[in-house]
């Protein structure tokens, strides 16, 4: 029996949330393929109990936040909107670091304006360390100079809570010495398990862990073992991968993204899957085999 909710940013949220990144155009750049469908997806998510939405003003850029505002503003009282700063998009769609104090402040101000908010529930610092070999994997290095400007904006009341994205355990500790951290958003899924120890440490501290690319992202998880178990339980591979994450630890909050109402419904249905110890052991073995 999994816990359905988690106390996050001072509110009780359903652990199955929604990530808005895929509402932007191809490559997370430009407008959506279908504007009306994007609005429908957001409204369907909230209508089905989603009260945790992940976004950023560099999705598009500016696209997903404006869609969220159009679809949902004025926002439900229980809705927690989480955004992130620390990057900007080039004219060619490239992802570039934006971590100077002025860039971080402008990032927060853009999120506020496009979401139509006076204060943002949670802002994650998205870390892109120089020399990192993979933009989706954390690399060591001090993040204090990036995190301190956000802590100051929190003191000014523009941000209610702070989080981190794409960080190591050492960087989490460094940030927590500056200001409270309510969530960590890193790449993690059934096949990519580098953060196992961090998930457990954050759970002990009452901090949410939010996997990005819970289904593999731009390279969806491919596993014969996962497909076979999914057939046994009458679910899709992706539903099973999401259900495994919900069983993995009670502090894991999911934000699978989609631009399809039908796919959204399939993702939400993963929260109803109950996995026994034998199935969980077989699923755990998939991650160990890939590790």
Q: How far apart are CA 7 and CA 25, in angstroms?
A: 33
Paired tokens of 185: 């958003």
**Look-up of token digits 């490239």:** 94
Q: Which of 102, 103, 101, 110 is nearest to 83 (CA)?
A: 110
List, as one string, the DSSP characters of 134-180. Answer: -TTS---S--HHHHHHHHHHHHTTSEEEEEEES--HHHHHHHHTTS-
Please, what is the angle between helix 101-115 and helix 63-72, to 10°? 30
If we measure between CA atoms, which residue out of 186, 193, 152 comes closest to residue 169?
186
Q: CA-to-CA distance for 17 and 2, rounded, in angstroms?
A: 15
Q: Establish whether 59 is a catalytic residue.
A: yes
List 14's β-bridge partners, or say none: 5
Q: What is the DSSP annotation of 110-129?
A: HHHHHHT-SSEEEEEEE---
From 28, 29, 57, 32, select the one nearest 42 (Cα to Cα).
Answer: 32
> How far apart are the C-alpha atoms of 1 and 282, rounded to whole Å?
18
Name the catalytic one among 59, 75, 188, 209: 59
Catalytic amino acids?
Answer: 59
């Amino acid at each position: 029996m999994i816990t359905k909710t988690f106390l996050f940013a001072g509110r009780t949220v359903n652990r199955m949330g929604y990530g808005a990144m895929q509402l932007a155009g191809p490559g997370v750049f430009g407008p959506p393929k279908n504007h009306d469908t994007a609005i429908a997806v957001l409204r369907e998510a909230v209508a089905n109990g989603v009260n945790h939405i992940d976004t950023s003003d560099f999705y598009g850029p500016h696209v997903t936040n404006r869609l969220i505002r159009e679809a949902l503003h004025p926002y439900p009282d229980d809705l927690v909107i989480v955004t992130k700063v620390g990057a900007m998009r080039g004219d060619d769609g490239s992802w570039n670091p934006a971590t100077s104090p002025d860039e971080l402040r402008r990032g927060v101000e853009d999120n506020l304006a496009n979401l139509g908010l006076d204060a943002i529930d949670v802002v994650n610092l998205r870390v892109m360390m120089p020399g990192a070999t993979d933009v989706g994997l954390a690399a060591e290095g001090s993040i204090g100079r990036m995190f301190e400007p956000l802590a100051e904006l929190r003191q000014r009341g523009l941000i209610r809570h702070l989080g981190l994205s794409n960080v190591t355990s050492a960087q989490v500790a460094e940030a927590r010495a500056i200001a409270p951290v309510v969530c960590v958003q890193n790449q993690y899924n059934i096949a990519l398990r580098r953060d196992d120890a961090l998930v457990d440490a954050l759970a002990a501290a009452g901090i949410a862990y939010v996997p990005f690319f819970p289904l593999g992202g731009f390279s969806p998880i491919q596993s014969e073992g996962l497909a076979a178990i999914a057939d046994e339980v009458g679910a899709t591979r992706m539903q099973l991968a999401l259900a495994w994450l919900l069983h993995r630890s009670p502090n894991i909050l999911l934000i699978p993204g989609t631009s399809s109402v039908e796919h959204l419904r399939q993702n939400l249905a993963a929260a109803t899957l109950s996995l026994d110890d034998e199935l969980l052991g077989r699923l755990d073995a998939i991650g160990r085999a890939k590790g």
